[in-house]
Amino acid sequence: MRIVIAGGHGQIALRLERLLAARGDEAVGIIRNPQQSQDLTDAGAEPAVLDLESATVEQAAEVLRGADAAVFAAGAGPNSGTARKDTVDRDAAVLFADAAEAAGVRRFLVVSAMGADPDHAGDEVFDVYLRAKGAADAAVRARTALDWTILRPGMLTNDAGTGQVLLAASTGRGPIPRDDVAATLVELLDTPATAGLTLEAISGGKPITVAVKDIAGN
- The whole-angstrom separation of Cα 16 and Cα 202 is 17
DSSP state of 190: T
129 has catalytic annotation: yes
* Ramachandran bin of 83, using left for φ above 0, alpha for ψ from -120 to 50, beta for the remaining angles: alpha
Distance separating alpha carbons of residues 139 and 178, to the nearest angstrom: 25
DSSP helix/strand/coil, 159: coil
Question: Which of the residues 72, 96, 108, 129 is marked catalytic?
Answer: 129
Question: What are the residue ranges of helices labelled H in 56-169?
Answer: 57-64, 82-84, 93-103, 125-141
Sequence-ordered strand ranges (E) for the chain: 2-6, 26-31, 46-49, 69-72, 107-111, 147-153, 155-157, 164-168, 175-177, 197-203, 206-207
Q: Which residues contact 99 (CB under 8 A, 6 or more apart)?
A: 57, 58, 60, 61, 63, 64
| Residues linked to residue 6 through DSSP beta bridges, in sequence order | 30, 72
Residues with catalytic roles = 129
